Chains A and B, each alone.
Chain A
Amino acid sequence: MRAAAAPRTRRQKEIRRHLLLYAGVAPFLVIAVFPVYWMVITALKQEPDLYRINNIPFWFNLPPTLKNFEILFFQTNYGSWIINTMTISAWVALITLLTAVPAGYALARLRLPGAENLGIAIFMTYLVPGIILFLPLSRVVASLGLQDSWWALVVVYPTFTIPFCTWLMMGFFKTVPMEMEEAARVDGCGQFGALLRIVLPVSLPGVLTSVIFAFTLSMQDFLYGLAFVAPGDQKPVPVGVPTELIRGDVFFWGSIMAAVLLVGLPVAILYNFFLDRFIQGITGGVGK
């Protein structure tokens, strides 16, 4: 009797604990997810369905539609914005890779005098906010003849991706055992050969992480895109949607939500997987 009762009460306790925890987590979940849900359902609703106060707005009162997406691709510059966003991010990722990976390696492995302070100095530049740099940079962009073209953003975005990714790569390279590199050297590899053949392949996850961050951080920007790129067909998505799809007081909420979702959701999902790396990066614990 007692033996049978004991596990049941433990199980009941466990269930009660879970229920309490779920009740605690539920409000956070609702707050975090509802705006996203609201975007999705708005994007799929017919225009009149958005403006019926007497119906329950949380679900479809008229059949769902893809018309909002159609409008985007056939009646606006949205197609070019997507292409711009992807191309900008790809270039930024490439520039970041070519600069941050070697720099991270040099700072972590080559016992340069003052390497630690140099590393911190580079990381601190990540924290110089765009709002202080965008006015002088607008002059730089103009003198390069890049104003009014998305190339301006390719030049500017690495100012925050390089510091962050250098810091990240420093951490990764520190975790590769020195012995591996020295063994390669004994076997006749030069310094560069050891980097290319031994250290880089082992640090591939780190390199990939850097690429992902270069991509997602580029897509998180709003200020530089707003300040440097005026022509309608040159904008990246996060800037094009609020500045071109909103005209005066007329809001096409269905298309607007559809437009930002298509780019926002993939970025959010990708970023989600690498969030812990990001937090480790900024709290300085990368090298542990």
Chain B
Amino acid sequence: MTASLPSGGPDATSARAAAVSVAVGTRSRGWFQSQSSRRLAFGYALLAPAGLYVLLLVGLPFLFSLYLAVSDANVGDQTAAFIGLANFQAAWEMETFWIALRNSVVFLVVAAIFKSVLGTSLAFLLLQNFRGKKLVRALVVIPFTLPVAVSVLSWKWMYDSQFSVINWALSRAGLIGGYGSESWPIWLGQPHLALFACIGVNVWRSFPFSAIVLLAGFTSVPLEVLDAARVDGCTFFQRFRHVVTPMIFPILIIGFLFDTVFTLSDLSVVYLLTAGGPGNATQILPVLAYQIGIQAGSLGRGAAIALTLVPLLFPALFLMLRNIKRRDW
């Protein structure tokens, strides 16, 4: 962990903050007040560019997407007339929509289970001290640091129907037959396998993230607290259950929610591997929103489909907000 506590820990920070506020308090009032309106003007001037950018290109578009969803907007047509909930209704009458919704939820849950298991095991391993740990850590996080499109293409090649290196190895190990035989899996061509293959890439990409977040949590638990618990007679599991877990819970939940938001809204893995196919076996909401909103040009209906992600995302964002605010940073 580089510079996890650059200023010597929370105690040092709050002590310094107290010292600073004392220093400010003893300053003469007049100086402070005459400075304060200029200070505020200066502050808001510095804040304005970032604030406006975010407001104009995130805030307004978000509201605009709410309007798009209840309009008949099309690509290439500047008008967007209000049509009520027709887009939502149309989406709900599509069988594909429900398949996409189900797949999105399955994707999220199954991937989360694998990521937690793999991430936790890796975190416990990296918690130990051993030679070459830094190198191992640097190599093991590569999946997370590679741009998504790059690694998905590599997987697409490894999932090739005929020249898949995975199948080659399985076949040589005698676990499956040769090419063309019944047991030769076509990863992206068989409905159940295809969804599993897509989930696999998401897990591969994000398990290092889970591990690193957990690791950051573990290393933030002060040793004195653990020693105190040990002196009080806690066993290893009691220390883990009653001391470590509550202390790292806030970090854990933020990492978990962050991953939820990004897994639910990611289109690149499925779009590049299968584009939702075969049939609709791997169709998920982001891909469907893209296909209908951009490829079919029906902006309104696409926006309506994308917005159905909001009820799924909202609890995650809300919990995250509460957690961030509670932290005494």
A242 & B149 in contact (Cβ 8 Å cutoff): yes
Q: How far is the CB of B10 from chain A (nearest CB, A)?
A: 6
Residues of B within 8 A of A223 (CB): 267-268, 286, 290
- Best-buried of A131, A227, A256, A285 by chain B (most CB within 10 Å): A131
A222 & B268 in contact (Cβ 8 Å cutoff): yes
A36 & B146 in contact (Cβ 8 Å cutoff): yes
A279 & B213 in contact (Cβ 8 Å cutoff): yes
B329 & A127 in contact (Cβ 8 Å cutoff): no
Which residues of A, 156-187, contact B by the 8 Å Cβ criterion?
Answer: 156, 158-159, 162-163, 166, 171, 175, 177-179, 182
Residues of A within 8 A of B162 (CB): 53
Give the segment of B41-49, B222-230, B235-243 that binds chain A.
B41-49
Cβ proximity bits B132-161 to A, threshold 8 Å, 1 near / 0 not: 000010111111111111110111011010
Give the segment of A3-11, A63-71, A72-80, A95-103 that binds chain B.
A95-103
- Any B CB within 8 A of the CB of A57: yes
Q: How far is the CB of A17 from chain B (nearest CB, A)?
A: 8
Residues of A within 8 A of B61 (CB): 133, 136-137, 140
Give the segment of B91-99, B187-195, B307-315 that binds chain A.
B307-315
Given contacts A283-B251, A284-B329, contact A222 B149 (CB under 8 A): yes
Residues of B within 8 A of A130 (CB): 265
B155 & A162 in contact (Cβ 8 Å cutoff): no
A220 & B158 in contact (Cβ 8 Å cutoff): no
Which residues of B, 6-52, contact A by the 8 Å Cβ criterion?
Answer: 6-7, 9-10, 13, 16, 20, 23-24, 38-40, 42-44, 46-47, 49-51
A282 & B149 in contact (Cβ 8 Å cutoff): no
Measured in the bound complex, the distance between the Cα atoms of B208 and A101 in whole Å is 30
B163 & A51 in contact (Cβ 8 Å cutoff): yes
A139 & B4 in contact (Cβ 8 Å cutoff): no
Contact of B65 among A122, A136, A271 (CB under 8 A): A136
Contact of B327 among A113, A158, A272, A285 (CB under 8 A): A285
Q: How far is the CB of A148 from chain B (nearest CB, A)?
A: 13
Which residues of B, 55-85, contact A by the 8 Å Cβ criterion?
Answer: 57-62, 64-65, 68, 73, 75
Measured in the bound complex, the distance between the Cα atoms of B131 and A17 in whole Å is 11
Measured in the bound complex, the distance between the Cα atoms of B165 and A64 in whole Å is 18
Measured in the bound complex, the distance between the Cα atoms of B168 and A58 in whole Å is 10
Residues of B within 8 A of A284 (CB): 254, 323-324, 327, 329
Contact of B317 among A127, A158, A260 (CB under 8 A): A127
Given contacts A179-B20, A191-B42, A280-B216, contact A222 B168 (CB under 8 A): no
Contact of A38 among B20, B24, B40, B157 (CB under 8 A): B157
- Any B CB within 8 A of the CB of A29: yes
CB-nearest residue of chain A to B326: A284
- Any B CB within 8 A of the CB of A62: no
B267 & A123 in contact (Cβ 8 Å cutoff): no
A264 & B150 in contact (Cβ 8 Å cutoff): yes
Q: How far is the CB of B138 from chain A (nearest CB, A)?
A: 6
Contact of A102 among B49, B146, B258 (CB under 8 A): B49
- Any A CB within 8 A of the CB of B303: yes
Interface of B is mostly: helix
Measured in the bound complex, the distance between the Cα atoms of B205 and A35 in whole Å is 11
Residues of A within 8 A of B179 (CB): 53
Which residues of B, 104-140, contact A by the 8 Å Cβ criterion?
Answer: 118, 121-122, 125, 128, 130-131, 136, 138-140
Which residues of A, 238-253, contact B by the 8 Å Cβ criterion?
Answer: 238-239, 241-242, 251, 253
Measured in the bound complex, the distance between the Cα atoms of B55 and A163 in whole Å is 11
Measured in the bound complex, the distance between the Cα atoms of B148 and A267 in whole Å is 11
CB-nearest residue of chain B to A282: B258
Which residues of A, 248-288, contact B by the 8 Å Cβ criterion?
Answer: 251, 253, 256-257, 260-261, 263-265, 267-269, 271-272, 275-276, 279-280, 282-288
CB-nearest residue of chain A to B136: A25
A131 & B148 in contact (Cβ 8 Å cutoff): no
Q: How far is the CB of A231 from chain B (nearest CB, A)?
A: 15
Q: How far is the CB of B65 from chain A (nearest CB, A)?
A: 4
CB-nearest residue of chain A to B57: A159
Contact of A276 among B3, B43, B168, B286 (CB under 8 A): B3
Given contacts A24-B125, A132-B306, contact A32 B143 (CB under 8 A): yes
Measured in the bound complex, the distance between the Cα atoms of B329 and A280 in whole Å is 12
Q: List 29 A-B contacts (CB under 8 A).
A: A17-B128, A17-B130, A22-B130, A25-B136, A31-B204, A32-B139, A36-B146, A95-B53, A100-B50, A103-B47, A106-B47, A107-B47, A112-B47, A130-B265, A131-B265, A133-B61, A135-B68, A138-B294, A159-B57, A191-B38, A238-B149, A239-B149, A242-B149, A264-B147, A268-B146, A282-B254, A284-B323, A285-B4, A288-B5
User: Given contacts A25-B125, A260-B147, A268-B146, could you give 20 more A-B pairs where the C-beta distance is less than 8 Å?
Assistant: A28-B140, A32-B140, A38-B158, A39-B157, A53-B179, A95-B53, A103-B49, A111-B39, A125-B59, A129-B261, A131-B289, A131-B306, A136-B61, A140-B57, A175-B7, A226-B290, A238-B150, A241-B149, A253-B157, A282-B254
* Chain A contact residues, CB within 8 Å of chain B: 17-18, 21-22, 24-25, 28-29, 31-33, 35-36, 38-39, 42, 50-51, 53, 57-58, 95, 98-100, 102-103, 105-107, 110-113, 118, 120, 122-125, 127-140, 155-156, 158-159, 162-163, 166, 171, 175, 177-179, 182, 191-192, 216, 219-220, 222-223, 226-227, 238-239, 241-242, 251, 253, 256-257, 260-261, 263-265, 267-269, 271-272, 275-276, 279-280, 282-288
